[in-house]
Amino acid sequence: MSVAKVEGPRRGRPRLESTDQAIYAAAAELIGERGYDGFSMAAVADRAGVAKTTVYRRWPTRSHLALETMTSVMRVSLLDSGDLRADLLCFARTLAAALRQPGTRRLIAELTLASSQRPELAGAFQRLFMQRRIDAQATIDRARSKGELRGGVDRELLIDQIAGPLYYRALLAADGPADAYAADLVDAVLEGALAPRSDI
């Protein structure tokens, strides 16, 4: 079963962003409190203060709602300004900010566990993170084409060196990774990845 977002022609009144956000907040709280198995569309509707039909019109299954809740909570920005450090710093800081959101750590843990047991959820979960990697890879490839990176630098490893410690810090520290930590992390990673000035 695919849990990719179902899109189709929308009729009637447009969706209210405030309603979507209330539903996302309710879903995140319930998944954090009860785990993936313990949250239901009816419980989400009740906590968000909306009709159950309102939830089902937007998301046909729990899996759809869970993944879009994660997307809503984990909003990460990646620029392509031509300045590699600035672009990666934007990525690291917005990821750190998302990981500091109340309940995010529990939400990630619960959905990671659930996806390890449900192939259909695992596929969608992986696609969510892979799209962000693809965007980051494009930024890194642009810098590589300009000769800003040392030869042989692995773009996958470069992304992991930035994202991995932020997730690790989020799991260990109650308040999550700070912006200053994210900036220091980017500088430390780039120190070994940037080409010497004479090579540019």
The predicted-structure confidence for 49-72, as pLDDT tens digits, reads as follows 999 999 999 998 888 898 889 888
Global confidence as pTM: 0.77
Give the distance between the most distant pair of CA atoms in the chain. 64
What pLDDT is stored for residue 138 in this prediction? 85
Q: Write down all domains in the chain, each with its CATH number in brackets.
A: 17-70 (1.10.10.60), 74-199 (1.10.357.10)
pLDDT at 104 over 60: yes
What pLDDT is stored for residue 197 in this prediction? 57
pLDDT confidence band for 7 (50 / 70 / 90): very low
pLDDT at 10 over 70: no
